[in-house]
Amino acid sequence: MQTYTTQMNAAKQGIITDVMRTVAEKEHMDVELLREKVAKGTVAIPANRNHLSIDPEGVGEGLRTKMNVNLGISKDCNDPEMELEKVRVALDMGVEAIMDLSNYGKTEQFRKELIKMSGAMIGTVPVYDVFGFFEKELKDVRPEDFLAMVRKHGEDGVDFVTIHAGMNKRASETFLENPRLMNLVSRGGSLMFAWMRLTGYDNPYFEYFDDLLDICAEFDITLSLGDACRPGGLADSTDASQIQELITLGELTKRAWAKDVQVIIEGPGHMSMDEIKANVLLEKKLCHGAPFYVLGPLVTDVAPGYDHITGAIGGAIAASAGADFLCYVTPAEHLRLPTVEDMKEGIIATKIAAHAADIAKKTPHARDWDNQMSKARVDLDWNRMFELAIDPTKARAYREHAELEDETTCSMCGKMCAILNVKEALK
Q: How confident is the model at residue 420, as a pLDDT?
A: 86
Beta strand pairing call for 292-295 and 66-71:
unpaired
Is 164 annotated as a binding-site member? yes
Q: Is 180 annotated in some ligand binding site?
A: no
pLDDT, position 80: 86
98 pLDDT higher than 90:
yes
Does 410 belong to an annotated binding site? yes
Task: State yes or no: 8 annotated in a binding site.
Answer: no
Domains with residue ranges and CATH for the chain: 7-360 (3.20.20.540), 366-426 (no CATH)
Q: What is the DSSP letter of 49?
A: T
Residue 70 known to bind ligand? yes
* Phi, psi angles (nearest 5°) of residue 191: -65, -45
Identify the DSSP state of 94: T
| Residue 409: band (very low, low, confident or very high) from pLDDT cuts 50, 70, 90 | confident
DSSP state of 6: S
For residue 302, the model assigns a pLDDT of 98
35 annotated binding-site participant:
no
Tens-place pLDDT, residues 302-316: 999 999 999 999 999
DSSP-derived secondary structure letter, 270: B
Q: Rounded to the nearest 10 degrees, what angle do helices 240-258 and 209-219 cross at? A: 60
Give CA–CA dist 218/224, Å, rounded: 16
**pLDDT, tens digit, 9 for 90 and up, residues 242-281:** 999 999 999 999 999 999 999 999 999 999 999 999 999 9
The overall average pLDDT reported for the chain is 95
**pLDDT value at residue 69:** 98
Nearest residue to 122 (alpha-carbon basis) of 159, 89, 166: 159
End-to-end CA distance of the chain: 67
Q: Is the pLDDT of residue 421 over 70?
A: yes
Q: Is 334 part of any known ligand binding site?
A: yes
pLDDT at 132 over 80: no
Radius of gyration (C-alpha) of the chain in whole angstroms: 23
Query: What is the distance between the alpha carbons of residues 320 and 361, in angstroms, rounded to a whole number?
Result: 6
Poorest-confidence range of 47-56, 237-246, 266-275, 403-412?
403-412
Over 80: is that where the pLDDT of 77 sits? no
Is residue 320 part of an annotated ligand binding site? no
Model-level pTM greater than 0.85? yes
Query: How is the chain split among helix, strand and coil, in percent rounded to 5?
Result: 50, 10, 40
72 is in an annotated binding site: no
Residue 107 has pLDDT above 90, yes or no: no
Any binding-site annotation on 229? yes
Least confident of 49-53, 157-161, 326-330, 400-404: 400-404
Query: Is 368 annotated for ligand binding?
Result: no
Of 258, 291, 255, 216, nearest to 49 by C-alpha is 216
Beta-bridge mates of residue 84:
none
Whether cis (ω within 30° of 0) applies to the bond prior to 297 is yes
To the question of whether residue 186 is assigned a binding role by annotation, the answer is: yes
Q: Are 118 and 148 in contact (CB under 8 A)?
A: no
Q: Is the pLDDT of residue 1 over 60?
A: no
Residue 31's nearest CA partner among 53, 4, 11 is 11
**Per the annotation, does 287 bind a ligand?**
no
Which one-letter amino acid corresponds to residue 166? G
User: For the chain, what is the total number of helices (H) and then of strands (E)?
Assistant: 19, 10
pLDDT top residue among 131 and 242: 242
Least-confidence region, from 15-24, 201-210, 236-245, 395-404: 395-404
What DSSP state is assigned to residue 3? -
- Kindly tell me the burial class for residue 40, based on how many C-beta atoms sit within 10 Å of its own C-beta (0-12, 13-18, 19 or more): middle
227 labelled binding-site residue? yes
Tell me whether residue 28 is annotated as binding: no
pLDDT of residue 2: 60
pLDDT of residue 407 exceeding 80, the answer is no
How far is it between the farthest Cα atoms of the chain?
A: 81
